[in-house]
A and B are shown apart, each in its own frame.
Chain A
Amino acid sequence: MSLSRRQVIVAIPAATLAVALPKSPSIAQDGRKIVTFWFGQANSDGQAALRRDLVEPFNASQDKYLLQLEIKGAAVNNLLKVALVAGSGPDIVQTAGPAYLTAIANAGQVLPLDGFAETYKWKERFLPALLNTGVYGGKLYALPRDYESMHLFYNKDVFSQNGWKLPANRAEFEQVADAALAKGIIPFGAGNADWKGVNEWLVTVFFNNVAGPDNVRKALSGELPWTAPPFVEAVELSKAWYNKGYFGKNYFSLTIEQSFLQVVNGKAAMALNGTWSFGTKSYGMSKPDTAMDVAPIPGLSAAVPGSLHHLACGATLSIAKSSQNPEGAAAVFEFMLTRQFYQEMNRDWPGKWALPVKDLPPEMLKGIGYPMFEKTITAMHDAFDKGQYGYTTWTFWPGATNGYLIEGIEQVWLNRVTPDAYLSRIQTLFAQELKEGKVPPLPQRAS
């Protein structure tokens, strides 16, 4: 087939117009409207849980919509941005937390959910502290898929064999850590060989548990510079602990799993890790005979007298602006709020879909056979509900600042830059991003 010049000239704008025209919703063979959902990383167990607990029961629950799930892997965040700009993204936009959502929401690539929130009473059902992380300019753009917090995981057998009691403050922490080192036990099992984000888990703990959540909040609001003395103390303490060997000799060589298993196997005493650890089966924490136990992390300075939970949202759920089936996407969200889904998903993949909904946990978790997970979620839910929490870097810090926070702390620990220089650079980057409106929204404190 040969095309004349005139045909080519006509074809180009026609093709452009075809791309620009609104798409009609995809229809399945049985006539149902298709709802597309891209998911990031999930191993075979996770994929099976997603199919068994979400896709199949949702599709069986009604005859209007058909949910299609695609596992996109680790690059999903980058794929998503490109697809949204091109208008070809999925109906359901899942991001890796408010820090990722900010740019997408500011660019208007996702729809406001206020209408659906009104219909389904979402604003009354979610914990405000978590729901407010999806509010931009007074409009709700995302629902929180889960809540997370840093915790102190420890081997209770190691503690009892050595006559140690669970530390309740910095002095006791250092006492236990020094005693562990003297016995050849690693105080904290930690490693970032497979995920640099481990650095920010630790920085989150030091910022909040040393400087205190009020100072962190002030700094995130731009009322206090990151170079203020409480943050200097926090970074200096992290450096002192690293240099004393509290995180072991192989922090940069061990993976997360290897380092946590050191605690499970008694080679290390404790781990500062997140609630997502409950979902890793190799740790065996759901077994009745596990040596592991967990507690909130105690304050590490006079500014933080008690233990602290750290507010984190590991993923957000929105509806793409280009979605031709927003009602279907909202119906999927509503399905996720059913008791059946909540129970089954948390049984099969603990912590991954811990929806911060008022009327579901914690009593819903009873009977899933995971006491440690149940008690942690219960305490976390209570703390977040009462407004007693610190702030996690991966939820509340803007991208460039958080990027340097993660990488730069290694420079501090390895004596490449001073704590002052590190915080000064953080302040410079943060001030710029605050000016550009890139800082994720802070939830209002409960009165």
Chain B
Amino acid sequence: MDPRTVRARLRALVAGIIIAVLVIGLVTSRIPSQTDGAGQADYGYVYSGAKAEAVDFVRANLTESSILVFGSSEFSTPADTVPQVPSQVFGLHNYGVKPMLLGEAFDQALWAAIALGAYASTPIPRNRVVLIVGPGQYTDGGLDNATFKERFSRPLYARFCQNEKIPDGVKSYVRNRLRQQGIDEATIRAGAAEDPISMLNMVLYDFVDDLRIRRDLAEVREKGMEFPTEPYALPNWQSLMYEAYQTGKEKGADNEWGLDDTFYNKQLKPQLAALKDSRSEETYTDTMEYVDLKCFLDVADFCGLESLVVIEPVCGPYYDHIGISKEVREGCYQKIRDEVANHPSARIADFSDREYEPYFLFDIVHFGCTGWVSAELSIYEFAEGGI
């Protein structure tokens, strides 16, 4: 090929690249940025992984009333199953506290530590955060790598690494845990951006992740709740608890454990006989989750935040049935209590003594009617500086 032809082809190649870049620029400019339309609705109760990793979106939608609440699958409980979920208690009324729920099923303490580090690189409302935990997260063997990889968020990890308030020791712990959970080295290094290749990777990852999040936020925006128009009022917790008890009684009338009847009859009852003593080997000791909880509380400490750990109990009668004894469960609760006690700026809302209380859970591990009101009361009091 003669040099003139080569030059012509190269010019064509460059023109093609320029055209592609222009088209990409046009397409991306049509997708709203994370901060577009901030404050138009209350997105605090939208159950979404995209929301949780959209730090700029969440920050733009925080107000002085907000409080960050990290958790997992309990946030997916629908209001028609448990009418006392936060969207119905805090979302429909102006109680002066607006939880921003962050997390999805299988988001555990390591995920929450990374997310907290990402969010806490700038001041967050009230300087207080809440974490909801339960024995289901402390099972032997820990969270399997495949599930962890699905829930791992590179954008959150990158922001966590950029948080200068978090010391190298904590970052190093998180890096090692990510390796243990099977996150690839390129992703881990890109988060820290320690060398030129990692920095380039980070730029590319940031661009692609931002677009993906902006795309997924369209669904989150559709699910935002209107802000209540009623004036500020103090919540009547006694009345809320009474209503919750009555609702729980109606929804759990057909089973002696006080769980939601639909759940009990359709999902639990058919399997009960087969599940007898099926988990008798469980010890709740062979897991890194307790150290991950320490890491979360450390991150809160280093970022100057007070934290509240809410212990969500499991259904006592069911766990007795499957062979995980009360003593084994108590061991798990105690380790959580000990970890919290080691952090002077951390508080605890311990509901582990409610395992046998009807209507406290709607299924075997998630808050039910009275359970949610109890948790909400603790979050409210903590947010307002009461505990």
Question: Is B one of A's binding partners?
Answer: no
Binding site for A on B (CB under 8 A): none
